[in-house]
């Protein structure tokens, strides 16, 4: 049976071989990539992923501008209004019916 030190020495030899073989294979792969890039006239920018900010656009469609929602509630003291969307203002309180704007 091999000793611990012998196994460590073998591992170092194998790791050195791995580094050499990997370097040789990488050189060949790089040459293949360069040949294909030349054949198809590709640049490094063609290979790099396009980075955008935020979510990608939905199929290239442009969103229609949002129309303003008419207010549903009115504070008679200040004249402040609320459309009923989003967080409710503090002046509205629990009884919203008092501030409801009558529909015309």
CA-CA distances (angstroms) from residue 43 to 19, 33, 35? 29, 11, 12
pTM > 0.85: yes or no: no
Domain residue extents for the chain: 4-47, 68-104
Tell me what pLDDT residue 17 has: 96
Cβ-in-10-Å burial (0-12, 13-18, 19+) of 4 comes to exposed
Asked if 82 and 66 count as a contact pair (C-beta separation under 8 A), the reply is no
| pLDDT profile of the chain (104 residues), mean per 10 | 92 95 94 94 83 64 78 90 90 87 75
């Amino acid at each position: 049976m091999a000793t611990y030190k012998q196994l460590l020495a073998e591992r170092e030899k194998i790791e050195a071989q791995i580094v050499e073989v990997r370097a040789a294979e990488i050189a060949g792969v790089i040459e293949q990539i360069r040949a294909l890039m030349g054949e198809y006239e590709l640049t490094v920018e063609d290979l790099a992923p396009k980075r955008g900010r935020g979510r990608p656009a939905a199929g290239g469609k442009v969103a229609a501008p949002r129309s303003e929602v008419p207010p549903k509630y009115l504070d008679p003291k200040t004249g402040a209004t609320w459309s009923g969307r989003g967080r409710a203002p503090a002046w509205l309180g629990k009884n919203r019916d008092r501030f409801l704007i009558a529909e015309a």
